[in-house]
Amino acid sequence: MTSVATSPVRIDQLLAAGHTRSFEFFPPKSDEESATLSATLSDLETLEPSFVSVTYRGGHESRQRTFDLVTHIQRGRLISMAHLICVGHRRAEMRQILENYLACDVVNVMALGGDIPEDPDLVASEFRYALDLVELARDVGEFSIGVAAHPLGHPRSPDRRSDRRHLAEKLRLADFAITQFFFELADWTTLVQELGELDVTKPVLPGIMPVTTLAGVSRMAQMGAAVPAQLVARLETAHAAGGPAAVRAEGVRAASELCEQLLGAGAPGLHFYTLNRSTATREIHESLFGPHGVRRP
C-alpha cells in the first residue's frame, strides 16, 4: 500500500478547530538542563498539548539550539513552533533560516523583534520590527505565524494607543498572537476589546505563568509584568501561614482561577510558560482539564 504524505499541522488550523493548550520551553545550555527538559517533555507530552513552542534569544549558537530542539520535537508526536528574532539579522540569513524550517516540516513560527544584541558583531541588522519578519515569512512560504502581544503595552511603546496600533498592524498579516504573562482577567479582555475596535479579531492566546515564590514577584516586575497587590497579599498571607510550600500552592491556585476566568470569557486557548519544569504547569492543567485533558464542568 502506498502511503499518503500529510501536510504539517498549522496552529491557525488548530485555533479554527477549537481551544488549544500549549507549552513553551527554552533550549538547554548544558547536559543538566538537557536532562531536565527531556524529563519535562516526557511528562507534559502525556497531557497531549495542541502544540509546544521553543524560544530563541539571538546569536548563532542559540539559534542552532532552538533549531535542533524544534526539529527534534517535530519528528516526534508533538507539533512545534519556532521562535525567531529578527533584530540583528540580515534578510538573506533569515530567509535561509525560514527555508531550513520548511525543509524540516516546521510550518509554525513566532515572529519577534527582539532586543539589540550586546555583541557588537551582531548589531548589524536589516530588520527593525517584528512586522518586517512577518512580511518575510509570508514571502518565503506557507507558515502559520504568531506574534507577541503585551496586555499592558510593550516596554518600548510610548503609550498604549500606539502599542495597540502596532500590534493590530502585525496581526492583520499574522495568524494569531500570544501574550506576555499577566495576572488579571481584565488585562486580556481589554486587549482583545481594543484590538476589536481596530477591526482586528485574530485569536489572542493568553500567556500563563504562576507566581510560585515571593522572590518571583520582583522578578516578574523586572520582566515587565508587575504582580497585582491583591495577589501579592495572597502570597504573603500564605507564606505567613505555611511558608514556601503554601506560597507555591497559592500561586498555582491563583493561576488556575485566572485560567478558568479566561476560558469563561472566551479565550481561544491557554499558553503556559513552563520555564522547562512540568510540575506547576501539570497541576494547573489538571485542575482545569483533569488527568485526561477533558475540561472539568
Active-site residue, selected from the candidate residues 24, 93, 118, 283: 24
Looking at residue 262, its amino acid is L
What would you report as the CA-atom Rg of the chain, rounded to the nearest whole angstrom? 19
CB 11 within 8 A of CB 79: yes
Exposed / middle / buried, residue 61 (Cβ in 10 Å: 0-12, 13-18, 19+):
exposed
- The count of residues in the chain is 297
CB 163 within 8 A of CB 135: no
Residue 93 is among the residues annotated as catalytic for this protein: no
Query: What are the Cα distances from residue 203, in Å, to 35, 54, 113, 176, 191?
Result: 34, 20, 20, 5, 11
What is the CB neighbour count within 10 angstroms for residue 178? Answer: 22
Residues 6 or more apart whose Cβ sits within 8 Å of residue 134: 111, 145, 147, 170, 173, 174
Between vectors from CA 145 to CA 143 and to CA 150, what angle results, nearest 5°?
Answer: 170
The answer for 105, left when phi > 0, alpha when psi is -120 to 50, beta otherwise, is left
CB 191 within 8 A of CB 204: yes
The residues assigned a catalytic role are 24
